[in-house]
Amino acid sequence: MLDNILLYVITGILGAITPLIDKVNLQKFRWFDYIFIREFIFIIGYGLIVYFFSKENLFKKITGLNLNAKTILLLGGVVSLIYHVLLFHIFEQDFEKEGMSKVVITLMMTTVIFSFLIDKFYIGTKFNWLNYLGIVFLLLGIILLKGF
């Protein structure tokens, strides 16, 4: 993991800055307008990356997939759309009531917990007692942050 530590640090910094930018922009736009603008900019930028750096014809590759693979590809897009809509709805609702860090940390902790559960029960990854203790601490952290 330490091989890519610089990438983790840069991603962490960008991940910390992004909600701040979102909070400022959500004061000017409704959440669904802002998500449209943000994702439109993203898709143009990502489209350019794919256009210039992809070594394959992406559309030909997609049409060559079987029905099951196309269904999973479509499902991934739908899940991503729902995730982003819920994320910005949460931002709009909770940035006003709670601090930005409380909202982002709660989202991150719930993501880690559910990723752990998928890893454990669907993929079958083996964990040690320290991993389970970490999940308990994450649950405790959510309880303490949200003040249940």
Considering Cα of 78, then 79, then 80, then 81, what sign does the dihedral take? positive
Query: Whole-prediction pTM value?
Result: 0.68
Instruction: Look at residue 148 in the predicted model and tell me its pLDDT.
Output: 61
| pLDDT exceeds cutoff 70 at 2 | no
| pLDDT exceeds cutoff 60 at 1 | no
Closest by Cα among 86, 123, 79 to 107: 86
Instruction: Look at residue 26 in the predicted model and tell me its pLDDT.
Output: 84
Residue-wise pLDDT tens digits, 4-31: 888 888 888 888 888 888 888 888 998 8
* pLDDT tier, 40 (very low <50, low <70, confident <90, very high otherwise): very high
d(CA 50, CA 69): 20
Residue-wise pLDDT tens digits, 47-104: 898 888 887 887 788 888 899 999 999 999 999 889 888 888 887 777 777 777 777 8
CA angle 79, 83, 89 (to 5 degrees): 145
